[in-house]
Amino acid sequence: MIFLKWAFLNLKRNKRLTLATGFALVFGFTGLLLLSGYIKVVDRFVSTQTIYLNMVGHIGILKSGSVEDAYRNPEKYLLSSEEQKEIEQVLEIPFLKENIEKVSKKLTAFALLSAAEKNLPIYIEAYSEGMTAYIENHPQLVKWLPTLLSKIKSSDGVSLTKELYSMLGHDVNAQPIDVQVMTKTLDGYLNGVSDKLTGVHTTGLAFAEDVSAKMSLPKLQELLATDKIGTFSIFLKDETKIEEVIKQLKLSLKGKGFEIYSYNSDEIGAYYTGTMSFINSIGFFFYSLIALVSIFSIVNTLTMGINERTKEIGTLRSMGFNNYQISNLFSLEVIMLTFFAIIISSILYYVLSSFINSLKIPFEPAGSSGYVYFTIYISNSIMLAHACIILFISYLTSFIACKKKLNFNIAELLNEQGVYK
């Protein structure tokens, strides 16, 4: 207890150094919290876009080898009706059933759309019935991407992006028109179907907005002359259960020729992994920069403090204190200062984040097809995790700095000039 009192009195006595280091720690720690909050929000933006807006789901079940070879030989790598039934039976396992919110079948194809005397190349995605209604009302989409909801309208027919509507010269809110979709069947024959243009959607990706189309799964199967599908997309009630569900699926489908991936894998979530790898790389750079500034501030403060308090250290040594105890005393001062800085930084983090979020500043992320609100994620777990890290860095840095500066005998320490040799 006496060490705590000494540490507090020493901080109070050395106001100049205390304030200089304190400000560096406060600004550094606040910057770390705000940066972490932003990265967390970007993660939620991109994951919500991947899972729900693009209907990848939390987990995808595909035929083995389909990721690499499905486009070269779709007939071989699509899931047959027998394989679909086999997967559906596994999904009825009680553990899986209680954790799965929604299951959708998915099939894709490149095709040519004809409407309003115009022809457009499109990339069609088809899902199980009711999926668009499920997505546009999903709480996660409402929470993280509310600005994109205006670009979604349920459809029983063909759905296009606003960019494709513009290319056709047709208004999104106008009466439905007839469209014809043509492509090659899996057997290589040219086939076409007619449908109504009734829906609008968005992928959230700028590069996909001028080719993306959606239609009902039975209609696309009719177009391709098949009853096969490409993927089972599984949506979970609780995202934290992904690993457990995947483990159960792999166990139940072992040796049956299927591959199982999560949305944050390169195989089915390349946009998510690519975006977050870039964001995390930038984050790591700034993390390192802020950490180095904090470390140098601590080392500088301790060095100056030891130089100014040489006789005090010598007196402590003459009273029987060893270097380890004296290092701990100085470290305790830094820990106490860091603790106060953490409290102030946490308050600033909460206030600044709340203020920024209340402004609802619109911005358009690179590669996005629409704007989102610039927000900072507020989380006690983020504050606690970073507090533990900064406390550890502060203690380790101060202890090492002190040990290097205290390798003098008592006579040199009591002689004030001895420390400068």
Q: What are 206-228's pLDDT values in tens digits? A: 889 999 999 999 999 999 999 99
Q: What is the pLDDT of residue 421?
A: 42
Q: Tell me the C-alpha distance between 297 and 19, whole Å.
A: 11
Task: Please write the tens of the pLDDT for every residue from 219-261.
Answer: 999 999 999 999 999 999 999 999 999 999 999 999 999 999 9
C-alpha pair distances (Å), 190 with each of 120, 126, 181, 196: 16, 19, 11, 20
Region at 128 (left for phi over 0; alpha for psi -120 to 50; beta for the rest):
beta
Q: What is the pLDDT of residue 158?
A: 92
Average pLDDT over residues 190-216: 91
Q: What is the pLDDT of residue 312?
A: 72
Q: Are 70 and 77 in contact (CB under 8 A)?
A: yes
Task: Please write the tens of the pLDDT for every residue from 261-299.
Answer: 999 999 999 989 998 999 999 888 988 887 787 777 767
Q: Please check the confidence at residue 418 and state whether its pLDDT lies above 60.
A: no
Q: Are 140 and 51 in contact (CB under 8 A)?
A: yes
Q: Tell me the C-alpha distance between 357 and 351, whole Å.
A: 10
Task: Please write the tens of the pLDDT for every residue from 98-128.
Answer: 999 999 999 999 999 998 789 999 999 999 9
* Residue with the larger pLDDT of the pair 89 and 146: 89
The mean pLDDT of the chain is 86
* Residue with the larger pLDDT of the pair 367 and 134: 134
Q: What is the pLDDT of residue 241?
A: 95
Q: What is the pLDDT of residue 412?
A: 66
Task: Please write the tens of the pLDDT for every residue from 359-414.
Answer: 988 888 767 777 888 899 998 988 998 888 888 877 777 777 666 666 666 666 66
Q: Which two tokens stand for residue 328?
A: 């701990």
Q: What is the pLDDT of residue 405?
A: 62
Q: What is the pLDDT of residue 306?
A: 67
HEC string for the chain? CHHHHHHHHHHHHCHHHHHHHHHHHHHHHHHHHHHHHHHHHHHHHHHHHHHHHCCCCCEEEEECCHHHHCCCCHHHHCECHHHHHHHHHHCCCHHHHHHEEEEEEEEEEEEEEEECCEEEEEEEEEECCCHHHHHHCCHHHHHHCHHHHHHCECCCCEEECHHHHHHHCCCCCCCCEEEEEEEECCCCCEEEEEEEEEEECCCCEHHHCCCEEEEEHHHHHHHHCCCCECEEEEEECCHHHHHHHHHHHHHHCCCCCEEEEECCCCCCCHHHHHHHHHHHHHHHHHHHHHHHHHHHHHHHHHHHHHHHCHHHHHHHHHCCCCHHHHHHHHHHHHHHHHHHHHHHHHHHHHHHHHHHHHHCEEECCCCECCCEEECCCCCHHHHHHHHHHHHHHHHHHHHHHHHHHCCCCHHHHHCHHHHHC
Task: Please write the tens of the pLDDT for every residue from 323-360.
Answer: 777 777 777 777 888 888 899 999 999 999 999 999 98
Q: What is the pLDDT of residue 411?
A: 67
The candidate with the shortest Cα–Cα distance to 377, out of 134, 54, 87, 39, is 39
Q: Please check the confidence at residue 81 and state whether its pLDDT lies above 90.
A: yes
Average pLDDT over residues 138-162: 85
Q: Please check the confidence at residue 417 and state whether its pLDDT lies above 70.
A: no
Of all residues in the chain, what percent carry a pLDDT higher than 90?
Answer: 47
Q: What is the pLDDT of residue 420?
A: 43
Cα atoms in the Cβ-side hemisphere of radius 13 Å centred on 338: 25
The candidate with the shortest Cα–Cα distance to 27, out of 351, 341, 340, 356, is 341
Average pLDDT over residues 159-167: 92
What confidence tier does 204 reach under pLDDT thresholds 50, 70, 90? confident
Question: Cα–chain-centroid distance for residue 62?
Answer: 24
